[in-house]
């Protein structure tokens, strides 16, 4: 079973974890971190991962991106 570390609203790690399959049931004021890597080429095209056919064959980052309450973008 995979677990996610829990953080407070200031991104401070707290001594709690939640099973990945229960991430939608996280308590208000508690958060888990995700990392998104988006690769852009010189033609302004993006490399994006698709989920498996069993998971709907959609873009892998779509679900969490549209459900985020807080997002920080950094272009490197």
Residues making up the chain, counted from first to last: 76
Distances (CA, A) of 39 to 29, 66, 71: 31, 19, 18
Per-residue pLDDT tens over the stretch 7-46:
998 889 999 999 989 888 889 999 988 776 778 888 888 7
Residue 30: predicted pLDDT? 92
Higher pLDDT pick, 25 / 62: 25
Confidence (pTM)? 0.55
- State both tokens at 11: 């991104």
């Amino acid at each position: 079973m995979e677990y996610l570390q829990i953080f407070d609203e200031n991104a401070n790690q707290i001594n709690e974890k939640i099973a990945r399959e229960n991430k939608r049931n996280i308590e208000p004021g508690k958060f888990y971190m995700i990392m998104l890597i988006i690769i852009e080429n010189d033609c302004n095209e993006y490399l994006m991962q698709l989920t498996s056919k069993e998971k709907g064959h959609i873009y892998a980052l779509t679900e969490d991106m549209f459900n985020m309450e807080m997002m920080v973008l950094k272009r490197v």
